[in-house]
Amino acid sequence: MKPLAFLLIPALLAACKGTEFIHKSQENGLEVAYRWNHPQGKPSELLRRLKNTAESDRSVALTIDLYYQGRTVESLEADTCVKAGQTLNGKLNGIFFIPERLTTEQIKSGDAQVEVTRLSVQPTDCP
C-alpha cells in the first residue's frame, strides 16, 4: 500500500495546486503576470503579480484593460514601487482587481481578455 501512496500524493498535490499566473509583459527588469480567482459566492478577482528581476528598485505605472467580446469594458490603473528582487503577488500585497462590469460567467466563458495597455518601469529608490 505504501508504494501506491507515494504515487498518489504528487497527483493530489498537483490537482490542488492553484491556477498558474499567465505572463503578460516584461519591461526594464519587471515581469507582469495575472490569473483569475473565482471564490465561491463572491465576484471574480484579477490577481496580478509584479516581479522585479533587476538589481535595483523599480517605479511601476501600468494600465490593464479588460475586454469582453472585443470591447473594452473596464480599465485598471496602478502605480507602485517594487524593491529589487521583490515579487508583489495577488491579494497578499494588494495587487488585485474586482471587475464591476464582468460577471464570473463571462470571464469563465473565455470571451474576456486581459491586456497590459500601458507599462512604464523606471529605476528608482523605494521608500
- 84-93, pLDDT tens digit by residue? 999 999 888 8
User: For residues 74 and 102, is the Cβ–Cβ distance under 8 A?
Assistant: yes
**Residue 2's pLDDT is what?**
52
In angstroms, what CA-CA distances link 117 with 6, 70, 94, 120, 125?
46, 14, 20, 10, 25
Locate 121 and state its grid cell.
518601469
Distance CA 111, CA 118 (A): 22
Number of domains into which the chain is organized = 1
Does residue 75 form part of some domain?
A: yes
**Residue 8's pLDDT is what?**
47
**Residue 18's pLDDT is what?**
56
Residue 46, domain extent: 20-123
Indicate whether this model's pTM tops 0.75.
Answer: yes
Locate 52 and state its grid cell.
522585479
**Residue 17's pLDDT is what?**
47
User: 96: domain CATH number?
Assistant: 2.60.40
Which three-class secondary structure state does DSSP give residue 9?
A: helix
- pLDDT lower than 50: segments of the chain: 1, 4-17
Does residue 6 form part of some domain?
A: no
Does residue 56 form part of some domain?
A: yes
Does residue 74 form part of some domain?
A: yes
Pairing of strands 30-37, 87-89: unpaired
Helix (H) / strand (E) containing 104: helix 104-108
Among residues 57, 43, 55, the alpha carbon closest in space to that of 96 is found at: 43
Does residue 9 form part of some domain?
A: no
